[in-house]
A and B are shown apart, each in its own frame.
Chain A
Amino acid sequence: MKSVSDLELIFELHFDKIYKFFYFKTLSKEIAEDLTSETFLAFADKLKKEDIEDEKKYIYGIAKIIFTKYLRTKYKENIVHFEDTNQFENYVEKVNEARSVNLEDVALRFIDMLPLKQQEVIRLRLIEKASLSEIAERLGKNMNYVKTTQKRGLKSLKKLIACTP
């Protein structure tokens, strides 16, 4: 059975990486907190029952399942394909490394991958900071079109950020 200080050490070691990864993928503190909690509490339950030697592999194994499940339930997607825990751990590492430096830049680059109509509106809104009425005027569309396209665009953008490996 691990001691309290052992457990604290394990937590401190993995918490930041796992939380940030979930945040980068969901852009929501609430969801990142939910997923991180789910990961650590599931792991705690396991630790309670048996002494796990290779805790890193195990905790990333749980995080992998939780993240895959999240994508599947939230976006009905199974885009990210990981063959094993090591691969997922590397992926977490890579996402953290890339997005810690300038999250804004990385996130906005996904706009290029949106369908054209959404790209147009989202680019004007997020990068040029244009108002809804300005966009409607520039695109010669009504407000309803701009609002709907913005809604769809933001949704697609979040999905891209979450699901793009």
Chain B
Amino acid sequence: MESKENKEIQEFLDSIKSESIYPDSNFKSELKYKFVTKAKGHGFFYSLSWSSKFLAFSFVMLFLFILSFSVVSAFLLLAEPEEAINEKEVFSNVVKANKNFVNSTTNTFTVANTIIEPIVESQASTPDNPDVINTEVPEALVASIINDSANNFSETKIKIAPGPKSNFCGEGDPYFDLPEINFENYNYYNAKSGEIYSKYKNINPDGVVLDYNLVTPDSYIEYKGGSYAIKIEQDNTIPVNNTDTTPVSFPETDSSASDNAIESLFGENANVEKAEIFKGRKHYVITWESVPTCPTQIAQNVNVQFDEKIINKAWVDAETFTMSKQEEYFGSIADENLIRSVETSTNLKNVNFDEVSNLFVFEYEVKIINKDLSQNYSQNMQDTLFQFVKENQILVPNLTSNRLEITSFFSAKVTAPTLFDYRKDRDFYPNTEDGEQMYQFYISSNQSDQSIYPDFAMSFKETLGSKEVSVTAEPKSKSFDQIKKDFYVENSEPLERMINIDGISTGITLFEEKLPANIITEGNTTPTWIAIAEVDGRFYVFRSFRITEIAEFLSLLHFNSLDANLDEDAKVIKGLLNKALNYAPINTTPGVESSNQKVSFNSFDSKFTVSFDSKDSYTFQKGGSTFRYGQVKGDGFTLTFYNDDNAYFQTLNIQEEISTKNLGTVSRVKVTNSESNYYVLNSLIQKGAGCRISETETLNTPCAKVFLNNQGFNLKAFCDAQTLNGINQCNEIIKSLDLKKNQ
């Protein structure tokens, strides 16, 4: 007989066979049917227009539905609900009852995952990005209430208390070894106006506020128990009837919870132990096992495997199937093994705002400092970077090829003033030992070992293609051998070549990157060339992306080294910085008809002009340069330009004779074929200095991927040294770098 272990291996091998990737045709047909009927709001008329196969299918489905309804009805009539516990049904109901809350802090079920996380994150750092406040905070907090058509107000109270085994991961683990926390969350959502009121606070047992956020339609207040709170005025209204925004939530499907969904929530060996009265209501007691993982150890790249499992015990309300209490034990259920307990109470209701308005008023008697969102932080960063290269006398290489344009300029060694600088202020935290810890935690989690970073990193991209060159200015203290090691060219044969630097033919050393075996590269086999040039006693490292031939790479490397202390060069550097920090790429999303055409948009300044050569091709003009894009096949295209508010403000028909037209600030462009709405090219211009995302890369570790796409590549040396367990850590670093860049 085939053993369980052999079966598992065989199943895995089968699952990675190429033929396994194709979807089952019946599944596809069935889903297509469900999709269309559901979208149309009815099934009958649709089924009439389909082939008889689907008509038959409809009858079969109807028959099965009637059959199952009869069976369930019979079961309900005959069963003794008080005595028999249908385990599967309980699990299924719990999954369904908690589905809406998975990503929400009001989650009463996945407490360990969703309640602790925001607390840990809020203690570590809050994203230094106004956009995040504008969207993620309200989304995360009110997603459940927005999805709830019956109620408009939620109140959740959660108490998380550590047990004797809370430090099984080691002292100070941010996930388990937490002090007692009392969490309160209130949300009110007005579906008509889109207005959101949301408040959450974490309080320690002494009543000291550790974290507090209040979101109202026009402001965001942040308070961490210190001598003042911060208020940022902004619009926190979720657009109503705005079909173009990414959904903040989505409706639930009708399907019952699958085994997979149950396993996802409960892990292994889940059992409904019994039913009992808890806090005056009937509850099911559920237990299940999970594997212990320790975030701190993972972040430190320590591979710890425990022999013991975590045993979870939960009390689930027999009527609402929400969780009232959860306990986690290390190894077995015994008082001395308790890791933590989580008690939850949730109250959902439909109210008039007046009844709850007092909950959404800032209730602490501390001064409130208003922060101005309109300040130009991109300009701050630009000035700071300029001062950095000037004061440290670092030459800035400006690649002179007219095929390239600068897309990023970044230095991990530079911090510009930001909207969120108050978080670096000790007075923002309580004047207690806890407050000192919170402050130190924030400061240390936002510091990094700068010795691993280059002085700065720049990226240049083809204006009419996808090839790229990145450049780093290495610290003067870094040796040639160290650079070779960091860039994985130690085992590569050096090639001596000449390029033009400041008009003089100068020698550089060229290598092909040889990545270590533990770095996964997906899909891209283009070699990566590394060129090292020494200018003014400092090494500059150039790296190629998607460039196959050495000769082509070399042809792009000619550059002028600019000195910020010289007036003429200073002007050029400022121009480069301005361009890099405001670089906003467009990702094209070809529509139906154009899926076989690659229409690429490149970066635009906030002001640009567009002109059309003919009805089949069009040209964008930016500054003094002209870039031509085309050929778009078809007749009568319409280009619609949207501003930041997603409201279209200008529509041009290509058939019209338009030479140039100033279109103001554009955040999205849509090209529509007149014959059908589906025949579109749809583009999103990402605004701001922002992270240039994706599309690229030879790809190495995930960390390297993100970093390479955003700023440069030197962090790769750091991230690659990690195994998979380093990914979280890398992501954290990258996150903080991204945030710095976004300031």
Contacts and interface: CB of A to CB of B under 8 A. Distances in A.
A50 B243 CA distance: 7
Most chain A beta-carbon neighbours within 10 Å: one of B35, B39, B250, B587:
B39
Nearest to A109: B520
A6 to B, nearest CB: 7
Interface string A91-107: 10011011111111011
A70 B264 contact: yes
A149 B305 CA distance: 11
Nearest to B264: A73
A4 B36 contact: yes
Nearest to A30: B260
A15 B29 CA distance: 11
Chain B, interface size: which category? 35 or more
B60 to A, nearest CB: 18
B36 A8 contact: yes
Given A72-B113, A83-B691, A107-B16, A16 B38 contact: no
A147 interface: yes
Contact of A38 (B13, B15, B253): B253
Contacts of A13: 592, 595
Nearest to A113: B724
Interface residues of A, number: 99
Q: Chain A's interface: helix, strand, loop or mixed, by majority?
A: helix
Given A53-B243, A89-B589, A7 B39 contact: yes
B625 interface: no
A4 B48 CA distance: 12
Given A15-B28, A29-B24, A65-B250, A54 B702 contact: no
A150 B8 CA distance: 9
Contacts, number: 238
A151 B595 CA distance: 43
Contact of A48 (B20, B41, B520, B691): B41
Contact of A36 (B31, B252, B702, B706): B31
Contacts of B41: 48
Interface stretch (B155-163, B333-341, B678-686): B678-686
Interface in A1-22: 1-2, 4, 6-13, 15-16, 19-20
B258 A34 contact: yes
Nearest to A1: B40
A15 B592 contact: no
A132 B8 CA distance: 12
A140 B598 CA distance: 56
A91 B423 CA distance: 33
Contacts of B35: 7, 11, 40-41, 43-44
B241 interface: yes
B601 to A, nearest CB: 12
A154 B12 contact: yes
B651 interface: no
B682 A104 contact: no
Interface in B656-701: 670, 677-678, 682, 684, 686, 691, 693-695
A164 B258 CA distance: 25
A57 B39 CA distance: 17
B587 A86 contact: yes
B479 to A, nearest CB: 30
A48 B102 CA distance: 24
B246 A85 contact: yes
B274 interface: no
Contact of A23 (B21, B255, B265): B21
Given A29-B23, A34-B260, A83-B691, 5 more contacts: A37-B255, A48-B41, A72-B103, A132-B3, A165-B702
Interface of A: 1-2, 4, 6-13, 15-16, 19-20, 23-24, 27-34, 36-38, 40-48, 50-54, 56-58, 61-62, 64-65, 68-70, 72-74, 76, 78-79, 81, 83-87, 89-91, 94-95, 97-104, 106-110, 112-115, 125-126, 132, 147, 150-152, 154, 157-158, 160, 164-165
Nearest first, the 4 closest Cβ-Cβ pairs linking A and B are A98-B523, A44-B38, A98-B522, A61-B246
7 contacts: A44-B38, A52-B243, A53-B243, A103-B17, A126-B12, A126-B13, A132-B3
